[in-house]
Amino acid sequence: MTGKTHSAVTRRFGIGLVALALVATACTSGDAETQSSADPAETEAEAAELSITPEAGSEEIAPNTPIRVSAERGAITDVQVDQAVVTEAAVEGEGDEGDLYAMTGTLNEDGSEWISDWNLRPGAEVVVTATAENEAGEETELTTEFTTLDATPGQRLELVSNFPSSGDTVGVGMPVVINFDLPVTNKAQVENSMNVVAEQETAGAWNWITDQMAVFRPEEYWEPYQNVTVDLNLAGVEASEGVYGVTNYQIDFEIGRELIATMHVPDHEMVIEVDGEQERLIEVSNGAANRHFDTTSTGTHVLMERYEHLTMDSATVGIPEDDPGSYLVDVQYAVRTSNSGEFVHEASYNTNIGSANTSNGCTNLRMDDARWFFENTLMGDVLDTTGTDREFEFDNGWGYWQKSWDEWLEGSETGEPQMTTDGTPGSVHGEDL
């Protein structure tokens, strides 16, 4: 039995009672008489009494109902929760590792109450076994069984995509991006179901970019060279009325070295620093700035997807073929920095690299520099750009660092930071605790 790391830990109490024999003596001259009360006082401790809710035999309990274990005349020493899925809806997650569904709980200070940390799996037979000890160390055990409500087909919250993926090594600016298949209205409960754990403690928070996209960002860039785990405890969470998650997920990724690229657009160069030391100086040509579209945006960009070969077509960003500003060009070594069409890429055709800004808004590089940039940067690396009058929007690609920490925290449904070593800040259940 374990508890959320930010809450009370499991405590085990056993207090032995010892009967003390008290002996009194008195002496007199002459007819002396000794009196003694040597009989031990015997005290028998009452057995601990346990109760569990939901009650035994309950059927179709809402999956976001907490399990509560209470003890009188004793302290809870162990709680085991077994969830065996028995319906078609629930078996979708059955192939996952069992550890993903191991139930933990939080024990109060005196060991008299335990509450489950996470929700229950829909369509499951649940067996709860609790143990408590009285003051004499004698154990009491109680087992109850009940079933949970199934998740309705078409109303099961599913994970559509996530960035990064397990096994990725990413840069220090990497957000955690979660995309769902259905809109989420109970955002606080879902936020609290998504626990981010990092080796180096930092504060972070989730924001809802849309009703189907949640993004986690730390207060400052991740510390380099550490592992991060995201536990998506979605099984049983009620995302909106009657819509339940059915599957838990775990994402494990690594933060690599710290690479920060900076550009002051009028200078026609990019400076690359790795772990605080300058690694490379690259000559560039940025947007001509004849209009809003071909102005390179100022702000903190996070490197996104990359293509060894890419056909850049202005029609994909809303500029039709017959428009004076249209283009159709094949490039190599393209790394995306926004969703509005900005890339860092090879542009051997541009003779103004290093001397003038003449691109359609992208950052143009010579072939050798473009290949180096492509091969030596990671998704999640940072590109800081200054010197233009076009402000990078926070929801354009991964522009989430455009918001200050206070602004970002205001966008969290819980309104509280999540410490990456302490667990989520609030309840995942469907009732106030």
Domain boundaries, the chain: 49-147, 156-256+407-419, 259-402
What pLDDT digit, counting tens, does each position of 137-194 carry? 999 999 999 999 999 999 999 999 999 999 999 999 999 999 999 999 999 999 999 9
Residue 256: CB atoms within 10 Å: 20
Instruction: Classify 49-147 by CATH class.
Output: mainly beta
What pLDDT digit, counting tens, does each position of 313-349 carry? 877 777 777 776 677 889 999 999 999 999 999 999 9
Average pLDDT of 84-101?
Answer: 64
d(CA 341, CA 393): 13
Rg, C-alpha atoms of the chain = 31
CB 392 within 8 A of CB 297: yes
Topology match between the domains 156-256+407-419 and 259-402: no
Kindly indicate the confidence band of residue 111, based on its pLDDT and cuts at 50, 70 and 90: very high
Average pLDDT, the chain: 88
pLDDT (0 to 100) of residue 24? 32
Question: Is the per-residue pLDDT at 295 higher than 90?
Answer: yes
pLDDT (0 to 100) of residue 181? 97
Secondary structure letter of residue 135 according to DSSP: T
Tell me, yes or no, if 27 is annotated catalytic.
Answer: no
pTM of the predicted protein model:
0.85
268 phi/psi in degrees, rounded to 5: 60, 35
409 phi/psi in degrees, rounded to 5: -65, -35
Tell me, yes or no, if 362 is annotated catalytic.
Answer: yes
Write out the E strands in 148-202.
156-157, 159-163, 169-170, 176-180, 194-198
Average pLDDT of 369-373?
Answer: 98
pLDDT (0 to 100) of residue 90? 47
Q: What is the largest CA-CA distance in the chain?
A: 131
Domain 156-256+407-419 is found in CATH 3.20.19.10: no
pLDDT (0 to 100) of residue 430? 86
Catalytic residue, from 268, 301, 345, 429: name it.
Answer: 345
Catalytic residue, from 27, 268, 309, 362: name it.
Answer: 362
d(CA 401, CA 380): 12
pLDDT (0 to 100) of residue 350? 97
Lowest mean pLDDT among 71-80, 126-135, 311-320: 311-320
Average pLDDT of 385-394?
Answer: 98
d(CA 196, CA 219): 13
pLDDT (0 to 100) of residue 17? 29
Kindly indicate the confidence band of residue 89, based on its pLDDT and cuts at 50, 70 and 90: low
Average pLDDT of 207-217?
Answer: 97
Question: Is the per-residue pLDDT at 10 higher than 90?
Answer: no
**What SS3 state is found at 39?**
coil
Instruction: Classify 259-402 by CATH class.
Output: mainly beta
d(CA 48, CA 141): 9
Structure tokens at 26: 């008195």
pLDDT (0 to 100) of residue 96? 47
